[in-house]
Structure formats: structure tokens, C-alpha cells
Amino acid sequence: MTELKKTPMWKIHEEAGARMIDFSGYYLPVSYTGIDKEIMATRENVSIVEVSDMGRYEIKGKYAYKIMEMVTPRDIQGMSDMKCGYTYYLNERGGYRDDTIIGKLNNEHFFNVCNAGSQTKKVLAWVKNFVKIVEDLTGEPHEFIDWTEKTTMFAVQGPNYKVILDNLGVPDTGRWKIIEAEVEGAKCLFTGTGYTGEMGFEVTIFDSTVENPEKGIKVWNAILKAGEEVGIALCGLGARDALRIEAGLPLYGEDIHEDVNPIEAGYDFPVFMKVDKEPWFFGKEAILKAMEEGVKIKHVGIILLEKGIPRAGYDILNQDGEKIGYMCNGVRSPVLNAGIGMGYVDIEYSKPDTEVFVQIRKKQVPAKVVKLPFYDTSKWGWKRNK
């Protein structure tokens, strides 16, 4: 049996009473006090979860922006300095190679976060190819640093996140801002990002490793102390997955993968694709073709109208019992008190409020297509703060 990879905080999780599991080859906490409690603590207050398994890399050099333009369809030069944003890497068919958060400190300096495990290796090798291409074309050297195993990373999510920043003496990250700061003598990079639909931030602590986790532990404890007045909760992977499904956020390997493109997936496609602009990006030709031909399937939210939980791989049926799609995932949402999940359906069944069924074992459970996110955005998620 292959030994699970440890993160810098694994002993801290055990000492806190977490239930630990194998998550994509990593030894990580699934829950501390119960998944539903941790979900509601995040939605109503604030929580912290370790996300050190995510991939992290840095590119520095005169044409760093050009590398990012070539590997993603985002308008890189249109991004402001000290801002970050969501985008993705595409394959030659226009499918997802991975999705990513790009952090732009300036045109010559980027700090990016990608998915964990084998995805990290795949993405870093892919980006390195384009670093070499740009170096060969320009004659300019570029610095590429893999920070994945040299840093620790936490996500602090929930409406009371700013209490934590205030007590740490760190400026508000808002949505998508980048802040460089020191906490307990540790160099940190704060970003106004997260994976729950709530306001919050993610923080990367440099020079904190599995072998020498002291800096990460100090920052973790500082965050917990900063959140004492509001009762910050510890959060595990179970709640994190349910939170992102409630928010309608994609997971690579489930909702998005090599065989679906961003038009089919529907994640703010017009915002991120620069197809009407000059810079070339890998996969552009395939995307242009998909736009011209249209799509046959669409990624949607599904909510059950009776008791049950939809799971990955379950069939989605029409009123005649014919298969029209499949579920990518599913959970029970304590916010909606219902079984919810995301999946792909034939395009003619993709409109909100379309009545469908989900095949759960031998029963066809009534359900409907809903607009994402699942929850009322005036009550939950970052938009309620607007």
C-alpha cells in the first residue's frame, strides 16, 4: 500500500480530533465536529481549512505575462496588478486540462494555484513547456518556482472573515485582491479567494514544510486566536465539498475534465475567453469551432424534490424515463434541506425549472433543474454583502 502524503498540519488535525481520510493520496481531515455543523459555521460565521495539497507555482521574468496569455484564455494584460482571478488551461480539443487561480503581482510576476496531486504535476509540466518556448523566442530567462511542498496554505471562509484580518493587522483582501504581509514573522501571501461561495481569503505561508511546519503552525494558531471573539470553526473536506456544490463551483475530475469545454460547462464563459482579441492561447481554434457549431450538452444544477441524495454517475431522466444526462456529484445540503448536485443534460433540458428525474438505485426520484448557485444569494454567499 502506498503511504499517504502528509501536509504540514497533519499532527495539528489529529490533535484537534479530526477524522482523517485518504483524499487523492493525501492524509487530510474530512471533519472535526460534523459536516453539517461545519457547513453552517462557514455560511453563518467563519471557518478555517487547510488546503496545502493544492499546487502552487511562481513565474518571474520580462515576458511572464506572455506565458500566461499562451496557456490560459484570460485577458492577462487586462488584469490589474495585485489582483487574482479564475481561469483554466485547455487542451487541443478545447477541453479542460485544469482550472486555476492566477495571481498577478505585475506583468513580470505571477503566483498561481492549481489542483492537487497528479494535476499539479501535469499542470507544472505543461506550463514549463511554454516557459521554454517563450525563453527560446525572446532569449530572456524566466524563473519558475514550484512552491507546492515548500509552503503551507489555509482557506478562511465566511461572512466574519474580516474580523480575522483586522485582528491580524492585515488589510481587507475583498474579492480577488492580493496582499503581501507578515504574520508571526512568517512571510505570507493573502488572496481574496476561496471555494465556498462566501467572502474570505486564502493564505500561503512560505518556507513551511512537512519537515519544518513551524511557520505554518504559528500562522494557524494566530488565525484561531484572531477568530476567538467570533468563534472561528475548524472545517474539513466534507464540508468544503458540500459548500462548493451549494455555490455551484466546479471540481476538476467531476464537473470539468478533458472531454468537456468551457461553453458546455458554462462557467462565466464570456468573461474569461479572449476569443475576440489578438493574443493566441492554446485551444483557441477548438473553442472558436465549438462556438460556431454550438453545444449539445450543458452543465446544470439539480435539486431533488423528494428525500434522497444524487451521487456521481447517477442517470438523469426525462418525463418518459429516457436518459438525458448524468450526475457529476451530489450531497445533502443543510442550507436547502435537500439533496443537490450538478450534472450534464442534453441542451433542450437545461433551462431552470425543467422537471426531470434522477435514477437512485431502483427509484426514479423527481427533481428539477435550477440556476446556480443553489441558494438564495440575498441570504447566503458573497453577494449578500454587496
Helix axes 237-246, 35-44, angle to 10 degrees: 50
Query: Helix/strand/coil (H, E, C) string of the chain?
Result: CCCCECCCCHHHHHHCCCEEEEECCEEEEEECCCHHHHHHHHHHCCEEEECCCCEEEEEECCCHHHHHHHHCCCCCCCCCCCEEEEEEEECCCCCEEEEEEEEEEECCEEEEEECCCHHHHHHHHHHHHHHHHHHHHHCCCCEEEECCCCEEEEEEECCCHHHHHHHHCCCCCCCCEEEEEEECCEEEEEECCCCCCCCEEEEEEECCCCCCCHHHHHHHHHHHHHCHHHCCEECCHHHHHHHHHHCCCCCECCCECCCCCHHHHCCCHHHHCCCCCCCCCCCHHHHHHHHHHCCCEEEEEEEECCCCCCCCCCEEECCCCCEEEEECCCEEECCCCEEEEEEEEEHHHCCCCCEEEEEECCEEEEEEEECCCCCCCCCCCHHHHC
CB atoms within 10 A of CB 292: 7
Cell numbers placing 6: 502528509
Q: Alpha-carbon distance 291 to 107, whole Å?
A: 30
Question: What are 173's three cell numbers?
Answer: 483582501
15 labelled binding-site residue: no
158 burial level (CB within 10 Å; 0-12, 13-18, 19+): buried
**Pick from 380, 35, 46, 56: nearest CA to 237:** 35
Kindly report the backbone phi and psi dihedral angles of residue 321, in degrees, each rounded to the nearest multiple of 5, phi listed first: 80, 10
Q: Cite the annotated binding site by residue number.
A: 202
Name the binding residues for substrate.
Answer: 202
